[in-house]
Structure formats: structure tokens, C-alpha cells
Structure 1
Amino acid sequence: MTKGKGVEPPNDEDGHGTHTASTAAGRFVNYADVLGNAKGMPAGMAPLAHLAIYKVCFGEDCAESNILAALDAAIEEGVDVLSLSLGEEGVPFFQDSIAIGGFAAMKNGIFVSCSAGNSGPSNTTLSNEAPWLLTVGASTIDRKIIATAKLGNGEEFDGESIFQPNDFPSKLLQLVYAGMNGKQESALCGEGTLKGIDVKGKVVLCERGGGIARIAKGQEVKNAGGAAMILMNQETDGFSVSADIHVLPATHVSYAAGLKIKAYLNSTAAPTATILFRGTVLGDLSSPSVASFSSRGPSLASPGILKPDIIGPGVNILAAWPFPLENNINSKSTFNIMSGTSMSCPHLSGIAALLKSSHPTWSPAAIKSAMMTSTDLFNIGGKLIVDETLQPADVFATGAGHVNPSRADKPGLIYDIQPDDYIPYLCGSGYKDEEVGIIAHRSVKCSEKPSIPEGELNYPSFSIKLGPSQTYTRTVTNVGEANSAYEVQVWAPKGVDVIVKPSTLYFTELNQKATYSVTFTRVGSTYKTGEYTQGFIKWVSAKYSVRSPIAVMFE
């Protein structure tokens, strides 16, 4: 693309595209770091893959015509995987440019990976909900860049910050709360809100939120003469914190830590604090955990499909960066650390490219199935994956679980879906002929073919609205060993009886298919209308384990 009159150059204006592209397919690079932290040799998920990058956003403007044009170009140019770290919430599929363009890509054998969105932790906040798209939530990694808030009473609270000055004194400074004047806008440390508050040379406690960027809060503290900032989470973000390139010595701590710091402030006439910068620490046993910002199900656009599909690394991700880093004009680093489902999506995109290379005949649905049925449910400490509250995360946060690339390469069984299989699903979802035609890119008459309920699509997970009893079928394809048998194991959701028939699947050759049925029956009356429970079924052979999550809403 050349620059001409009225034509914008295809440069990366904000770093987002460079960061996500390198996460999917960046080559190995020696001696990477961000301001001296997270040192190592990074690479994208598929470091030998070729990249084709299409610019669709100019600032905040991501025109649907640009998105569709880029998807058309990608299809024409024969890409294998599309990675889309963008989307919007609550759009029916026939009005969703990514769903429409993604359907065309899927018809052409292209795998489409998309961000779930950054509107968590509230439920029903998803983007990119169509079942032909992989919808990716965000999890933490086991690396932390620790900055510890130390109080005058000896208490210490670990937080995170990329900016780790080595000349910040460890002596205790006076600690003040930005909201000491009783004004919430001051507590949030918005621009100009600290005027009239004496913070000069002090450590300032600010609260997260209010639509004000985390780094901008530190800028306000710095402008007002503050020496350092402790940024505490709002309640909804719980224990989920981010490492940022702050403009002054700072740490971002949990909501629980913030409450204890507030209690200390109120307990003494002369509160003091400092920040101890401890650098990069590996081996966090609670990783992976679900980030507070990661959007959650259940899906509004298609309640019969469990979304998100999967989670992958999306917090404090180091990847390529096209500009000098903020707060360090002399930096020659070409890397930055960012967080978001924009970062988790390209991890899965790169893994999809590896799977496509390993299994060139697999369809996009087969690749998705391999990823979803082979996930991890436990963190590296051996406990169930938690969310921002440190409680076990539910299926609307994790989907099928955390991606495990090596197991996805050898899934044993896959749930395949052909492009035409989505037509009866769309018709059964209540879309009109014209609307289905917009999605499918051809004329469709729903009356000519039997439609199916959403839950009958051959998906690797189950999302059920349950009255007294419902039965669904699934068909699996053997991609493991020719002669094999799989026995079913059932972890039934509470309040639900789950019967799978047959209980054993036998195969005598590769690519052989087998069909089974699952009957869900409500038992007892403990659960009220609208409440959810969850479980899973697992097909187990001598070599493979193939798991499908179940979410049940009681009607």
C-alpha cells in the first residue's frame, strides 16, 4: 500500500497490531526485556509461520467495511489462520461483520480465532460469539514483576509494576489517601483532582476505575508532586492486577490489599509507606488464573453454545513493540508488556497454525475441537483454575479450560462440523431466511431443510436450558489409534441426571465416526429458574482423554 493524497499509511499507530502479530508468529529473539524486566528469548506461538497483516483500524475507528475487505483479501490470498483481536458486544450474527466474514473464511477452510472481549468479570459480556469462531478468554502466566507496598506497621503487600527504579529510597515516606477530602473523583486520581491536597513527597493511595487509565492516575500523582503511588483495585477486579510502565514509582495491588492499607491509614495519625522493587519472579503456583477483565458467558447471541470456548495467556504478555517505551525516551527496546484478550487471541491463533501444519486435512472445527477437548482445568500448583476472586472459575469464565498445545496435537477424538451444518443451526436459532443468507453468503430457505436446536450442533461442549428432560446427540471422529475403545465418565452438574448412550465407543479404523446421545434430566427442586450448574463428560481410552464441558440453566 502506498501513501497518496487522502490515503493513510499502513503504519501501526498504537502498537496493538505489532504486539498481537508477534505473539502469533514472531521469530525467536535473544536478550528481550522491558525496562530490564522479563528477560529472556521470546517467540511467537508459530515462529516459522508467515504473516500477512491487514490494517482495519485507524485510531478508534474500525470500520466494518475495512474488516470485511481485509477478510475478503485474506481469503483470496489463501491464509490458513485469521487472528482478530477486535469485536463488539451484543450483535446478532447477521449484523456482525466478524461473524459474516468469519463464516466466509471458515467455508474456505480458514481457522478464525477471536478475542472474547475485555468487559469482565460481569456475565453476558462476550464479543465474537458465533460457533464457527474460536472465542478466547484471557489468563495469567506464572511470571510476576513484583513491586511490594511496605507499610509503617511492617505489613507488606505484593503488587506489580514494570517501572522498577533502582534509586527509589527504601525509607518510609508519609502515606496519604487521595480521597481524604471525601471526594470520589479525588480517590480515583483523575486529572486535576489532587489540587488542594498535600501529596508533595508522599506515597499516594489511589483507587482503580472511573474510566481513568492506570498510568494516567500516576501522572496526576506526579503532577501534584507525589513521590510514589499505590494503586488499589476496585472490588470487581479482586486479585487481578497488571504490570504497567508507570511514570513514577508505583505498585498495583489487589482490592483486599487496598482495604488493609486503608485500615492502616485510619489506625494511626502518622501513616507511612514505601515501595520495594523486587523485579521479575517466576513460578506463580496460582497460574493460570482468569483475568478480571476477561469477558464472560453465557452467550446472549446464542445461549445454546457455550462461550467463551477456551482461555489462553493474556496478562502481562511480552511481545514486539514499534515505538520507544513510555517513561524511558532513551529505551531502544523493541518489546512491551500488555494485557487483554487481544493478547490471548493470537496465542491460540499461533497454536492453530501449528495444528494446521501438523494436521493439514483437518477442518477449522476439527482444530477447534482438538483444542477444546484437551484443555487443562488445574493450575501449576495442582488446584482448580481460579478467577479474580481466587475461587474456582466457572465455565462462563474458562470455557473448556486452558489451552494445552501438545495435548491438542493428539486429541484422540474430534467433533467435526461442515460449513453446511451451520445452516439448520441458524434456522433453528430463529434467524429469518434473509438473515441466514447474509451470514451464509447464499440464498437460504429454512423451510426446505429441517432446522435443529442450538444444542444439537455437533459442538465440543454443551450449553443447556433444561426443563424436565432433554436429549442431544454428538458425533465424534477417531483421529487417535485405529483399534480403540472409549468409555464415558460423567461429572453431572448438580441437580441434573446425565445419561450417555452408548457408554462405550468402539473404533476399528482411523477417521471412523461414532454417534452417542446425552440425556439431561432435572432431579430435585433445589435450583430456581435462571440458576446455572456445570459439569462435564469425558471419553477415555487407554491413551486419550476427550472432555466436553456442560453448562445447565434451569428453566
Structure 2
Amino acid sequence: MARLGALICSLRVVVVVVALLPSLLATVAVAHNDTGVHKNYLIIVRKPYEYDQNVYKTVSSWHASLLASVCDTAKEELAADPGAETRLIYSYRNVVNGFCARVTKEEVFEMARKDWFVKAIPEKTYRLMTTHTPEMIGLTGPAFHGGVWNTSNMGEGMIIGVLDDGIAAGHPSFDAGGMGPPPAKWKGRCDFNSSVCNNKLIGARSFYESARWKWRGIDDPVLPVNETAHGTHTSSTAAGNFVPGANAMGNGIGTAAGMAPRAHLAFYQVCFEDKGCDRDDILAAIDDAVDEGVDVLSISLGDDEAGEFSADPVALGGYTAIMKGVFVSTSAGNNGPSASTVSNEAPWLLTVAASTTDRRFVATVKLGNGIEIDGEALYQPPNFPSTQWALVRDTIGDGTCSDERLLKKEHVAGKLVVCEQGGNLTSLEKGSFLHQAGAAGMVLIGPKFMGSVVQPKPHILPVAQIAYPSGEKLKNYMKSTMSPTAALIYKGTVFGTPMTPAVAPFSSRGPSKQNQGILKPDITGPGVNIIAAVHGPEGLATPPNPLAAMFDIMSGTSMSAPHLSGIAALIRKAHPMWSPAAIKSAMMTSTDTMDRRQKPITDQDGNEATMFALGAGVINPTKAMNPGLVYDLSAADYVPFMCALGYSDHEVSSIIHPAPSVSCKQLPAVDMKDLNYPSITVFLDREPYAVSVSRAVTNVGSGKAVYVASVEMPETVSVTVTPGTLKFKKVNQVKKFKVTIRATNGRLKESVAEGQLKWVSPDNVVRSPILVSSQKFFEDDTTSDHARR
């Protein structure tokens, strides 16, 4: 493979290289220190250092020559590390100016003396963005109205690239029925045979060259087969074909479809079960995806502590992607509700939080005193009797039913057992033990941090899963009587929950650590109890029907990100000339901030959700197709922004590769607040406690339009928009305006104030969140570990 250079560090091979390339002779060095531990490093090469294309036919051969200049040729200990002879793992063309190689620390020190060297970044593992515990799985997102699919032709001809852990290629969600051939621009390949690949799944590859050095047992070659349900689930959410009769354990029966059911799928396996996702494999996959012709990248992985953008593969690869017109949707992370836990923070990425949906699988616990407590159950046994069973708790242990000695027949047979989530057993394992011991059923109480959110699983015995507040009521009832009883009443699938959508408790919150002047997450999409394709559901051994064995519910920002990926493909199809930033703006400025009660969207505890949880709001695909105005940005517009963050010239040049290198001193300073972003974040942390923000909007609606500014803010903040009216004469016309934000009475009293700027016309409302803080969220606003120069 031309892109992958394999350099054999042995004396014989290096002699051959020198014979072919005499000009290298003076540069070859012998480190004499190759007995150390070999590890994978991402090696960043200095720009504008370029290779002589008359000498090196490919970038891989050039990178191989650089590695040869420090690779020890005399003391390779193949007995200690047989794989050490293959050193160059990936040679990157697009995502970064550099390569991934397997070297020792001593060889890194030797590299540091070379004029082409910038830095070496040690190997790092990323992880898929499912929820923390096995209990967190879920149901579908909102249905699309015919208007959106008609306008976009269901994403026909678009190519969505998914980076994940594998795919069940033969699943009916990836059937080619109704699909045309991929567009002529597609240059990728499918490593499955021709009977598996088709006009729906047009690409399937595995990237493991870096991972296999750390994780023994990864076969060579690797096919991108499904490792867990994750990759199949996310792929079908973004672009799954129509599957009539889909259901989750007999519930939610209907026709399954992804957000863009006529879009093509290109799958890139970069993660492996119980191992994670290797940074350098992620970079390699994005490197190829942007070359192969994808329109959208869906990336449901990340790192809780990804750090600076110049070392983060999603940020690095994402920048190259948007530079080439590829939209990138990423998951916000699953470390909520704690503050400052958001992942994938780069402003050129769409960072997606997760919300609940309005569908529940209702299971009611009817207490002996007549009180009914609603919970959920994914598997609902048909004709289950409404018998009042004796109700017992794990009072000897910690309440979690994790001690197998307490789950014996003499304790639980013929009874409903109340267990709390947690402990050293999963909820499925608890249910299995109780089933074996003859329990009539289980009532499972969710953890406190989940609030009112319940995520059911297909247990092997009758179960009702209830929220923590309901669990407190249940336990109080049990204390009030000597003989507590309860019945389980199954009510099936119920729609129309009033307090939805609500922000999921696990969904990571802002503020962003890497760029605190940019509101992250950007937007929220369905991510709780999402029904989508799997290779086989967890839990119940025998699903109630054949299709129930092919679909399951999962939860996480991993599930919300592909919703937005599919919607981005629909928008891209309807508006092929829009930039990734324009698509992002269309989504963010048309969101919903009210739930079905027409009250502000809440969090899991029923409190009004903050912008750090919700971003701009919950996606509204119908409005996003016709936003009226967009806040547009080119890839180059992010460069002075990165300089203002404190990145060095080398770091910025590495991020924007393959664009020409830059000098930050020669660029106009662009503060975070002035990046032409669809949201506004300012700090009133010093006198005179007033800040002005610059923005520009592009008319993408009707040729002539007039928009009037409308501001909603707390009384403690005053906002002036100049000019207050924008008049457009034609499509694509750009108008600039200034927003001045000041504390009404001196210093801002509250720590954070939230509001919004709306540009209103007869046809559109273009809404931008405004977040005002009385102080910086973090003391040090410099991201880079190098001094800017």
C-alpha cells in the first residue's frame, strides 16, 4: 500500500536504501541505543520543510528516509521485540505533516536534534462515546417529516463516513434496496466480499497498524466486522435503510430508518472491543476518508482529556476534513452532569450533546396500598399476571443485590426483589441470578445522578426499572408496612412524554477547557434509548420475534452524533454549495429550546437546562433546511483564532496541514469572542464591564429580506446591536453587525447570565445563544505548552 511505508531497520536493508539514494548517506545516523522499549509516537515534521519529489516518489518514502536517519541499524534486538523491525506505521498525507513510527525514547532524543523535527507525541488511546455503565441503553429519535426528506431526497448520493468499532455488514439496515450506485467521486474500497458490499455499504476498512503493537490478538489482516453493537448502531442511525417491522424486544414496532436513508455508508474501523481506539489509526482513517470522497464524517469517539488541538486526532483530522468541505459531527462525551467535561471541543467540529425522546416502554409498579409508580421495561412478558407479590429488599448488603449469597432461593423465590443499580454485578447479571433462584421479578432503582431518566434493558425475568426519586417512594412504602407487596403491570410503548426532550444526565457539560470563549457543546440531539441496528441484543436469550434479534436500544452521545451526521447529509444534499460552517450554523440557529409543554428544556432533575448542557438547543431538521441567514466561516478563518489561543507557528501549521505554513505575528489578532460563530460568549471580568463582539451573516434565504434584531437577556445585562436592522437585496449577500454587551449596574452580580439574539424576518427567526460570565472559567487561557512565536 503506497500510503503505508514499512521500513525494515536492519543493516542489510539500510544499505540497499543508501545504494538507491546516495544523497541520504550523509544523513544516516546510528543511535546505538535500540535496546530500549519501542512505543508508537506521532512524529510532527517542521513546515515548510518539504521533500524533493525528484528523489522521493511518495511522501511515505520521504518519511522512511527521515526515520532511517535515527533508526539504529546495529543493535536491533529482534528476540526481545520481533515486531520492532517494522518501524514506519503510517505516513500521513492530509491530516498532519508527519508520520507514526515505532521508536525508543533514545531515538526520539536523536530526532530532536534534526532540523526537520518539531515534536514527538506518545501513543494514546481514545474510547467510544457510549454511557459509563452497561445499564445505559435506549430508544429512537424524532421522526422526520416528509418535507425534509423530499427536499433532500433522503440524502441520495451523499456519502457518510463512520469511524467506529466494526459493522454487521449483512444487517437489513444496510440492504441496497432502492439505492443507486455511489457517485463517481468515490475512491474508497470495501474489504468485505462483493456479496456483502453493495450500493448502501460502499466502503468498509479496518485501521489497526498502530493498535496491533499494543494489543496482541488483533489478527492480520483485519476485516471491519462488528466487535460490539456500537458501530452497527451508529451507522444505521446515520444512514440505515428502511426495515419494516423493526422492534426492540417486541416494543417500539415500526419501520426503522436512519436520518439519511438514501445516503451511502463508508465504514472505517478504528476501535476494538475492550481495547479502545488508537490515536494514530484514527488519523489514518480520516486521512483516507477525506481522499476517498466522503461528504460527512460521523465520529462517536474521543478523549475526556484530549488536550491541545495539535495532538488530538479528531481535531487534527477534523480540520483537514472541513478544509476539504467535509462536515464533521462528533460526540460531546458522557461524563455529565459534571462541569467542564465536554470532549471534541475544536470550533470547526460540531459537538453534539444528548437528549431524551418522547417514547417510553412503560412498566408500572402497583404497590399494595394502591399507589402506582411508573417505570420502564424493554422486555414485557405477554399476559403477565397482575398478582401482588411479596416485596423484598437487599437489606443485608448494600442494596445493590451484588452479593450472590443473598440471591438464593430461600430468600427470593416467588417474590419481587428490589435492587439498586451499582455494585459489582451488572443489572443483567443480577436479573440472571434472581431468575435462577426463582424470583417472581425484579424492581431495579436507577442511580441518583440519572434523575428521572430510565434506560431499560431486556432482562431474562419480569422487571420494572424505576428512577431514583420513585425508588425513594418505594422504599418508604416498604418501611411503612410489615408485609409490603407489589404487582408489575406492563403497558407497552407510550408516546408523548410532556417533559421531553430533556438533556441526558450522562451528556458532558461545558465550559470548554480548550477554548473557553466558544460555547460547547454546540447542539443537542436524541441520545437516550435509541432503537437502531445491532448484530444481536444483550440480555434476553430468545427475542420475541426475528427482527427483535436485530435491533436494540443504546444511549450516549455516541447515539446523538450520528443523528446530526445524517441530518448534515440531508442539508448538504439540499444545499450542495454550503460550507461545513454554514451547515453547522443552519443547525444551531434553528434549534428548539422549549419542550413539549412549551416550557424551557430541562435537565434530568427537572431544572432548566443551562447552555453548558444544551448548547444552542435541540436540533430541528425542518427549520435547519431553511435557516434564512448563516454565520459562515472558511477553514482559514480559524487560523488567527488558534494563534490567539497561544499555539505556536509550528503547532498551527501542523493543524492546518496541508495548507501552507503560517506566521501568527503576520496575522490579525482574532479573539475567541470575535470568531464568526453562531453563538456568543463574553466575559465581563474587568472595568468598564463592557465588551463588543463582531459578527457577519450571509443571506441564504430569499433574494430580498429584512431582519430586525431582538434581544432577550436578564435585566442585569444590557445588549445593543448595531445596526439593529439588516436589509438584504440578494442571495449570498453578507452583512456585518456589532453586539455590545455590558453589565447594567456596574459589575455583573450573577456568575453567568444567559440570553439570546434573534434576527427576525417574516419568514425566519435566526437565533444565537448569548452567554455572559462575570469571570473567566479557567485562569490560564493558553492552550499550547509552547510559547507562541
Taking structure 2 as the reference length, the TM-score comes to: 0.67
Instruction: Specify whether residues 221 and 304 from structure 1 end up closer, same or farther in structure 2 by C-alpha distance, changes over 3 A only.
Output: farther
The aligned residue for residue 404 of structure 2 is 192
Instruction: Specify whether residues 449 and 370 from structure 1 end up closer, same or farther in structure 2 by C-alpha distance, changes over 3 A only.
Output: same
CA distance in 2, matches of 1:125, 1:191: 33
Q: Do 2:716 and 2:749's aligned partners in 1 also have CA atoms closer than 8 Å?
A: no
The aligned residue for residue 35 of structure 1 is 249
- For residues 214-266 of structure 1, the C-alpha deviation after alignment (integer angstroms, 9 at most, x for no partner) is 43443344355433221222222110111221232112212211110111111
1:248 and 2:469 correspond: no
Counterpart code for 1:447? K
Between 104-113 and 26-35, the greater mean CA deviation after superposition: 26-35
User: How far 1:151 moved relative to its partner?
Assistant: 1.1
1:47 and 2:267 correspond: no
CA distance in 2, matches of 1:473, 1:271: 64
The aligned residue for residue 163 of structure 1 is 379
User: How far 1:213 moved relative to its partner?
Assistant: 3.8
CA distance in 1, matches of 2:590, 2:453: 26
The aligned residue for residue 233 of structure 1 is 446
The aligned residue for residue 18 of structure 1 is 232
Residue number among 63, 69, 83 corresponding to 2:278 in the alignment: 63
The aligned residue for residue 541 of structure 2 is 328
1:481 and 2:694 correspond: no
Counterparts of 1:301-312 in structure 2 under 5 Å? 301-312=514-525
Instruction: Specify whether residues 525 and 222 from structure 1 end up closer, same or farther in structure 2 by C-alpha distance, changes over 3 A only.
Output: farther
User: How far 1:484 moved relative to its partner?
Assistant: 1.2
Instruction: Specify whether residues 493 and 104 from structure 1 end up closer, same or farther in structure 2 by C-alpha distance, changes over 3 A only.
Output: farther
Q: Do 2:758 and 2:767's aligned partners in 1 also have CA atoms closer than 8 Å?
A: yes
Counterpart code for 1:258? G
CA distance in 1, matches of 2:581, 2:513: 22
1:462 and 2:683 correspond: no
CA distance in 1, matches of 2:656, 2:676: 18
Residue number among 499, 514, 523 corresponding to 2:735 in the alignment: 514
Residue number among 748, 752, 760 corresponding to 1:532 in the alignment: 752
CA distance in 2, matches of 1:324, 1:234: 23
Q: Do 2:588 and 2:616's aligned partners in 1 also have CA atoms closer than 8 Å?
A: yes
Counterpart code for 1:96? D
Counterpart code for 1:78? G
The secondary structure found in structure 1 opposite 2:363 is strand
Instruction: Specify whether residues 194 and 8 from structure 1 end up closer, same or farther in structure 2 by C-alpha distance, changes over 3 A only.
Output: farther
User: How far 1:525 moved relative to its partner?
Assistant: 6.5
The aligned residue for residue 391 of structure 1 is 607
CA distance in 2, matches of 1:526, 1:146: 50
1:86 and 2:265 correspond: no
User: How far 1:165 moved relative to its partner?
Assistant: 1.0
Between 279-288 and 324-333, the greater mean CA deviation after superposition: 324-333
Residue number among 528, 548, 567 corresponding to 1:315 in the alignment: 528
Counterpart code for 2:535? P
1:382 and 2:602 correspond: no
Residue number among 531, 539, 563 corresponding to 1:347 in the alignment: 563
Instruction: Specify whether residues 273 and 453 from structure 1 end up closer, same or farther in structure 2 by C-alpha distance, changes over 3 A only.
Output: same
CA distance in 2, matches of 1:212, 1:130: 37
The aligned residue for residue 104 of structure 1 is 320
Q: Do 1:494 and 1:533's aligned partners in 2 also have CA atoms closer than 8 Å?
A: no
Between 109-118 and 315-324, the greater mean CA deviation after superposition: 315-324
Q: Do 2:355 and 2:524's aligned partners in 1 also have CA atoms closer than 8 Å?
A: yes
CA distance in 2, matches of 1:247, 1:400: 41
CA distance in 2, matches of 1:454, 1:41: 44
- For residues 154-197 of structure 1, the C-alpha deviation after alignment (integer angstroms, 9 at most, x for no partner) is 1111111111112533111111222x12x43xx22336373579
CA distance in 2, matches of 1:211, 1:464: 45
CA distance in 2, matches of 1:523, 1:194: 62
Gaps of 5+ in 1: none
User: How far 1:53 moved relative to its partner?
Assistant: 0.6
The aligned residue for residue 360 of structure 1 is 576
CA distance in 1, matches of 2:417, 2:620: 42
CA distance in 1, matches of 2:268, 2:323: 20
1:498 and 2:734 correspond: no
User: How far 1:212 moved relative to its partner?
Assistant: 5.4
1:416 and 2:636 correspond: no
CA distance in 2, matches of 1:90, 1:5: 30
- For residues 123-176 of structure 1, the C-alpha deviation after alignment (integer angstroms, 9 at most, x for no partner) is 211111111111111112221111111111111111111111125331111112
Between 193-202 and 491-500, the greater mean CA deviation after superposition: 193-202
C-alpha RMSD of matched pairs (Å): 2.0
The aligned residue for residue 512 of structure 2 is 299
Counterpart code for 1:362? W
User: How far 1:554 moved relative to its partner?
Assistant: 0.8
Q: Percent identity?
A: 48
- For residues 423-477 of structure 1, the C-alpha deviation after alignment (integer angstroms, 9 at most, x for no partner) is 1111111222222223222533211212221111100001222221111100000
Counterpart code for 1:465? F
User: How far 1:519 moved relative to its partner?
Assistant: 1.1
Count of paired positions? 550
Instruction: Specify whether residues 321 and 465 from structure 1 end up closer, same or farther in structure 2 by C-alpha distance, changes over 3 A only.
Output: same
CA distance in 2, matches of 1:209, 1:299: 30
The aligned residue for residue 499 of structure 2 is 286
CA distance in 2, matches of 1:195, 1:337: 28
Counterpart code for 2:690? S
Instruction: Specify whether residues 208 and 553 from structure 1 end up closer, same or farther in structure 2 by C-alpha distance, changes over 3 A only.
Output: farther
Between 230-239 and 254-263, the greater mean CA deviation after superposition: 230-239
The secondary structure found in structure 2 opposite 1:421 is helix
Between 103-112 and 152-161, the greater mean CA deviation after superposition: 152-161
Instruction: Specify whether residues 160 and 450 from structure 1 end up closer, same or farther in structure 2 by C-alpha distance, changes over 3 A only.
Output: same
- For residues 101-143 of structure 1, the C-alpha deviation after alignment (integer angstroms, 9 at most, x for no partner) is 1111111100000111111112211111111111111112221
The aligned residue for residue 670 of structure 2 is 452
Gaps of 5+ in 2: 1-190, 193-205, 207-217, 776-789
1:72 and 2:315 correspond: no
Q: Do 1:400 and 1:461's aligned partners in 2 also have CA atoms closer than 8 Å?
A: yes
User: How far 1:208 moved relative to its partner?
Assistant: 2.5
The secondary structure found in structure 2 opposite 1:473 is strand
Counterpart code for 2:457? D
The secondary structure found in structure 2 opposite 1:205 is strand
The aligned residue for residue 142 of structure 1 is 358
The aligned residue for residue 181 of structure 2 is none
Q: Do 2:684 and 2:747's aligned partners in 1 also have CA atoms closer than 8 Å?
A: no
CA distance in 1, matches of 2:537, 2:483: 40
Instruction: Specify whether residues 490 and 243 from structure 1 end up closer, same or farther in structure 2 by C-alpha distance, changes over 3 A only.
Output: same
User: How far 1:211 moved relative to its partner?
Assistant: 7.5
Larger Rg: 2
The secondary structure found in structure 2 opposite 1:62 is strand
The secondary structure found in structure 2 opposite 1:30 is strand
Instruction: Specify whether residues 211 and 488 from structure 1 end up closer, same or farther in structure 2 by C-alpha distance, changes over 3 A only.
Output: farther
User: How far 1:528 moved relative to its partner?
Assistant: 5.5
The aligned residue for residue 4 of structure 2 is none
Instruction: Specify whether residues 173 and 5 from structure 1 end up closer, same or farther in structure 2 by C-alpha distance, changes over 3 A only.
Output: closer
The aligned residue for residue 221 of structure 2 is 7
